[in-house]
Amino acid sequence: MQKKIIAIVGGPSTGKTTLINNLISKGFCCYPEISREIILEAQKEGIEQLFLEQPLLFSELLIKGRKKQFKEAQKEHSQIVFIDRGLPDVLGYLHYANQKYPDSYRTICQENRYSDVFILPPWSEIHVTDQARYESFEQSQIIHQHILQTYKDLNYSPIEVPKDGVESRIQFILNNLKKEP
């Protein structure tokens, strides 16, 4: 079986981390979202919202971190690795913020491809904000569209995970992993 690196993506507060944590509890190899640690580190330095204040610096840190995660996932003994957010999410957020970025970002996304991409839609009933997740539900809906379009532009066919309980969402993902040719 060829290694599968699966990205769980979507706008803010759609249940990605909850799914990842539950997959971990079931024994799956998973990599966490790294943007929260970057945000909290910047806040320690006195920068309240790094993405809003310095979007390219924030994105550069994310690109480097997510590329490192992808490379580490390739070395895992597990044949299936789930990652909370993928490299193209960075481009989606930059499109949302109407920011230009280096061509190298797109190249990195094209060179480090996920086996499957599952996208979680905006869901008002579970949407919350906190010190690192400041986006309103309306902003989350717009970000979702930018992320979805970015993956499509990079020749992915993201599979939308239905709004449902955690166990049902996990089962949906496991049932919809691409089969080997």
Q: Which whole number is the average pLDDT over 129-149?
A: 77
Within a 10 A sphere around the Cβ of 110, how many other Cβ atoms? 12
Share of the chain above pLDDT 70, in %: 87
For the chain, the structural domain boundaries read 4-175
Q: How confident is the model over 56-88, as pLDDT tens digits? A: 878 888 899 999 999 999 999 999 999 999 999
Q: State residue 181's pLDDT score.
A: 47
**pLDDT greater than 60 at residue 133:** no
Range scoring the smallest mean pLDDT among 16-20, 81-85, 124-128, 155-159 = 124-128
Q: What is the pairing mode between strands 116-120 and 4-10?
A: parallel
Three-state secondary structure call for residue 146? helix
Rounded to an integer, the average pLDDT of 11-39 is 88
Q: Which residue has the higher pLDDT, 24 or 139?
A: 24
167 band by pLDDT with thresholds 50, 70 and 90: very high
Q: Which of 106, 118, 33, 121 is nearest to 80 (CA)?
A: 118
Place of tokens 């759609």: 14
DSSP of 2-49? --EEEEEEESTTSSHHHHHHHHHHTT-EEE---HHHHHHHHHHTT-S-
Least confident of 41-45, 91-95, 105-109: 41-45
Q: Which residue has the tokens 């599968």?
A: 4
Range 4-175 classified under CATH 1.10.10.10: no
Instruction: Tell me what the mean pLDDT of segment 93-120 comes to.
Output: 95
Whats the size of the chain, residue-wise? 181
